[in-house]
């Protein structure tokens, strides 16, 4: 069993035999159920998909220092982090992070970033596969991501303007064909308003849409 907790915006905690954080934007995140990074005492792996302020690079560095977690990101961001316990990577094959049994692979994402390029991420742990798409527009190779990794869960942005909107994200579900979908990256700010219920309606029976409020969890 793997437990996925929504920490608001694009931030997630994934707990199984290890604890994994993705895009831990906590400081300044109006949706964060946590008061600050000091609320995080345990993490084994911290992943940042791309260098934008709302994806938590700075908090990730602090969390890695507090918890001794591995920092996993593309090479350029790993260099920028100055951390020592790291797995520098890029879009490609899986890395078994620190030999701990958490396997991570980065995927393309159509977006921009400060340092380096934007990515999505595949996380395999305890026999479950999760695709966190990062920030991205819709692209047809999501079909390949579905074929290659067969994700149990896809976490997709739906807020439009900077990422897919609900219509494009519903098309993405068709391409990826996961069992479950959690929408993210919407309603954090006025610029990215979206209706997750309407997204759920558009997805229909293609997958089970799980709408989480910040702080809520779902088990796969
Ligand atoms: Zn971004």
CA of 136 to the centre of ligand 1 (A): 8
Confidence of residue 36 (pLDDT cuts 50, 70, 90): very high
Which pLDDT does position 150 carry in this prediction?
Answer: 98
Write down the mean pLDDT value for the chain.
97
Interval between CA 138 and ligand 1 midpoint (Å): 14
* pLDDT value of position 121: 98
pLDDT tens digits, 175-187: 999 999 999 999 9
Q: How confident is the model at residue 30 (pLDDT cuts 50, 70, 90)?
A: very high
Residue with tokens 């990062």: 134
- Spell out the residues 6+ positions from residue 218 whose beta carbon is closer than 8 angstroms to its own: 3, 4, 180, 182, 210, 212
What is the whole-number distance in angstroms between the Cα of residue 29 and the centre of ligand 1?
14
What's the pLDDT score for residue 182?
A: 98
pLDDT tens, 78-111?
A: 999 999 999 999 999 999 999 999 999 999 999 9
Between the CA of 135 and the centroid of ligand 1 the distance, in Å, is 5
What pLDDT score was predicted for residue 167? Answer: 98
Q: What is the pLDDT of residues 151-197, one digit of tens each?
A: 999 999 999 999 999 999 999 999 999 999 999 999 999 999 999 99
State the pairing for strand pair 103-108/119-125: antiparallel
Please tell me the distance between residue 111's alpha carbon and the centre of ligand 1 in angstroms: 7
Residues 20 and 13: beta-carbon distance below 8 Å: yes
At residue 116 the predicted structure's pLDDT band, cuts being 50, 70 and 90, is very high
Q: What distance in angstroms lies between residue 110's CA and the mean position of ligand 1's atoms? A: 10
Ligand 1 centroid to residue 68 C-alpha, Å: 26
CA of 55 to the centre of ligand 1 (A): 7
CA 198, CA 69: separation in Å to the nearest integer?
A: 37
Ligand 1 center from residue 19 Cα (angstroms) = 23
The pLDDT assigned to 38 comes to 95
pLDDT of the residue at 203: 98
164 and 172 Cβ atoms separated by less than 8 Å: yes
DSSP per position, the chain = --EEEE-STT-EEEESSSEEEES---TT-TT-SSSSGGG----SEEE--SS-GGG-HHHHHHHHHHH-PEEEEEHHHHHHHT-SSEEEE-BSS-EEGGGSS-EEEEEE-SS--SSS--EEEEEEETTEEEEE--S----TTHHHHHHHH--SEEEEE---SSS--HHHHHHHHHHH--SEEEEES-SSSGGG---HHHHHHHHGGGSEE----TT-EEE-
Mean pLDDT of 98-127: 97
Whole-number Å distance, alpha carbon 54 to ligand 1 midpoint, is 7
What is the structure's pLDDT at 25? Answer: 98
pTM > 0.85: yes
Task: Tell me how far the alpha carbon of residue 162 lies from the centroid of ligand 1, in angstroms.
Answer: 7
Rounded to whole angstroms, the Cα distance separating 216 from 26 reads: 15
Domains and CATH numbers, the chain: 3-211 (3.60.15.10)
Q: How far is the CA of 12 from the centre of ligand 1 (A)?
A: 15
């Amino acid at each position: 069993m793997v437990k996925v907790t929504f920490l608001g915006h694009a931030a997630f905690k994934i707990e199984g035999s290890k604890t994994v954080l993705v895009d831990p934007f906590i400081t300044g995140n109006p949706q964060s159920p946590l008061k600050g990074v000091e609320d995080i005492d345990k993490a084994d792996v911290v992943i940042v998909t791309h260098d934008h302020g709302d994806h938590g690079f700075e908090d990730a560095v602090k969390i890695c220092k507090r918890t001794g977690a591995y920092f996993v990101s593309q090479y350029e961001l790993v260099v920028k982090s100055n951390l020592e316990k790291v797995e520098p990577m890029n879009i490609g094959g899986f890395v078994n992070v620190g030999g701990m049994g958490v396997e991570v692979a980065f995927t393309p994402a159509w977006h921009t970033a400060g340092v380096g390029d934007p990515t999505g991420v595949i996380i395999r742990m305890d026999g479950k596969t999760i695709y966190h798409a990062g920030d991205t527009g819709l692209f047809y190779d999501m079909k390949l991501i579905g074929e290659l990794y067969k994700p149990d869960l896809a976490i997709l942005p739906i807020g439009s303007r900077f990422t897919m909107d609900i219509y494009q994200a519903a098309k993405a579900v068709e391409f990826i064909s996961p069992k479950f979908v959690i929408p993210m990256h919407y309603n954090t700010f006025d610029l990215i308003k979206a209706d997750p219920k309407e997204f759920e309606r558009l997805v229909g029976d293609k997958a089970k849409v799980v709408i989480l409020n910040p702080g809520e969890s779902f088990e796969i």
